[in-house]
Amino acid sequence: MFTFFIENSLESFLSIYLRETLDFSSTMGGTAIGTFHIASLAGLLVSTFLIVKLKENKVLLCCGVVAFIGLLTLIVIPAPLLTTLGLFLIGFSLAPITPIAFSIASKISNERRSEAVSIVTIFGYTAFLFAPLTVGILGDIFSLRVAFVLLILCSILIIMLSLFIYKRKKLEGE
């Protein structure tokens, strides 16, 4: 859910943020956005290997932390190279989260498996729909930089949920 929110907020407002808030040139803005998408692909490709080595819950936690660092870099440091690095971190770390969330939901008891996956889907797409509206309103009232703080809060919630899942799995003996 929080990943959908972050990703659609960035899809909707990143080019405006880079051009108007950070005063990037078209070339630098395009490079930064391209870096975000290439990093997303790389994150998906590498995540399978990481999940096999580290397990889903540890990868989920690491992804949340790296997304937090990337979002913080995007918002706090307006230097083009560091902003692009932040976008790389965001794209790389967010890419595996949704597949992991579906995987975790599908491992719930056999009787409730389809319900769990449906709930994850509903929450995810609801966040996907409301992200541009929420960020847009906050951006109009305050600024896009202030609105993007909401994305940092979403990454913190990803970290908190991953810690909850990690502790729960540890108690279950997995």
Q: pLDDT digits over 128-172, tens only? A: 999 999 999 999 999 999 999 999 999 999 999 999 988 887 777
- Residue 107 in tokens: 């491992």
Rounded to two decimals, the pTM is: 0.94
Q: What is the pLDDT of residue 112?
A: 84
Q: How many CB atoms lie within 10 A of CB 165?
A: 17
For 2-172, which CATH superfamily applies? MFS general substrate transporter like domains (1.20.1250.20)
Instruction: Point out the residues of the chain with pLDDT beneath 70.
Output: 174
Q: How many degrees, rounded to 5, is the angle at CA 145 between CA 124 and CA 70?
A: 65
Q: What is the pLDDT of residue 174?
A: 62
User: What whole-number distance in Å separates Cα of residue 116 and Cα of residue 131?
Assistant: 22
Domain boundaries, the chain: 2-172
Q: What is the pLDDT of residue 14?
A: 97
Q: What is the pLDDT of residue 34?
A: 97
Residue 20: CA count within 13 A, CB half-sphere: 10
For residue 96, the SS3 value is coil
Q: What is the pLDDT of residue 53?
A: 93
